[in-house]
Amino acid sequence: MVDEARARAEDEKRWAEAARVKAEEERREAESEARETKRKAEERMRAAEAERKEAEERKRMAEVGRQQAEEEKRLAEEKAARAREIQLEAGERAAQAQSLADAAKAREQKALDDLRQQVSRTDEMEAKWLRGDRPVVLPTDDDIKSAKIRFGYTEGHFHFAIAGLAGSGKSSLINAFRGLTNNDPRAANTGIVETTLQVTGYPDPNPKNPFVWYDIPGAGTLEIPDWQYFNAQGLFVFDCIIVLIDNRFSATDIAILENCKRFHIPSYIVRSKANQHILNVMTDMGYDFMMDDGTQRVQMMPAARAKFLAETRESVKANLGKAGLPPQKVYVVSKDTMAAVVQGRPIGKDRVIDEVQLFEDILKESTHKGSRVKADA
């Protein structure tokens, strides 16, 4: 479209320039002709004057000579009048040519202005794309209806979506939220590689909890750009979205949180596999389980845990700020502790991080269910 606009502008510019050049040539020719005519007329007038004087001199000699001189004078005056007419006509043609040139110049300027505006809009769109700004696409009523049918959306239930990169532990966390271990027959499939390639819902086994937990395919397993992931997966119909992060904050995580804000959908940032991560921090701090007699782990655990929590929360804060999103709590959990909390089994305080608070917060959220598919104006 830009190329077509530029081509049209260039064509109009060439036509305008050709018209201006032609008008300029006509004006110069007319002026030259007028000057030549005037010069000749003046010369004839001078000749006529000389002839008149000669005629007056000859008048005394003969009446015929006087009449001849007067006739020549009349002819000269006619020629002078014609020269003046030609000059006026040339002036009019020059004025018309100038008017055409001015109009052509105005069209050329408008074409250039239109082209600059188009280029500016194109540059702005390219700049936004390079900055990471992506177009906001709001779902239609048909999109919402279709997604609800596809997911088996049931009125009166609370629908949780668990989203995150492949391998972040979504299926294990869903099992924990449902109070199940991974080897339970009712549990969602888990594995090292992504096992979910389409949105899968798992009803809560506790009849007191009218919840359905949905395992959303990891962004890395699908040919979907991060900025299209939210709408492509139909996340706009869920009542609550839990964004599960692992070692890093991905562009898809940011896109999900941005759209949760846009559609007024409650969101929770969760980092799972806490025990594994804390053990990794301990190893980095010098822990050697081969040499441990049981005391080293006990001594190093509090410091490693505090370090891991601080680094995780600082990382989330920095990534949210970089994306222009408001601060948001990150819940650090482990699946085993989460399952024990949901089951109501007693558990030592030293094993609990944010599992209790997360479970309490999502239970509170489920009691405030409202219309979520409502985008910012």
Per-residue pLDDT reduced to its tens digit, 91-123 = 888 888 888 888 888 888 888 787 777 766 655
CATH architecture of the domain covering 141-366: 3-Layer(aba) Sandwich (3.40)
pLDDT value at residue 222: 45
Are the C-beta atoms of 359 and 343 separated by less than 8 Å? no
Query: How do residues 184-201 score in pLDDT, each as one tens digit?
Result: 767 777 654 444 567 889
Q: Among 24-33, 74-83, 307-316, which range has the highest average pLDDT?
A: 307-316
Q: What digits encode the pLDDT tens for the residues 31-49?
A: 888 888 888 888 888 888 8
Q: What's the whole-model pTM score?
A: 0.61
The model's confidence at residue 371, banded by pLDDT at 50, 70 and 90, is very low
Give residue 332's pLDDT: 95
Read off the pLDDT of each residue in 132-143 and give the average, rounded to a whole number: 72
pLDDT of residue 134: 55
Neighbouring C-beta atoms of residue 74, cutoff 10 Å: 11
User: Which amino acid type is present at position 71?
Assistant: E
Q: Side chain identity at 154, as an amino acid letter?
A: T
Residue 361 has pLDDT above 90, yes or no: yes
Q: Provide the CA 165 distance to its chain's centre, in angstroms.
A: 24
- DSSP per-residue codes, 234-292: TGGG-SEEEEEE-SS--HHHHHHHHHHHHTT--EEEEE--HHHHHHHHHHHTT--TTT-
More confidently predicted of 4 and 160: 160
Cα distance between the two ends of the chain: 30
Q: What is the pLDDT of residue 44?
A: 85
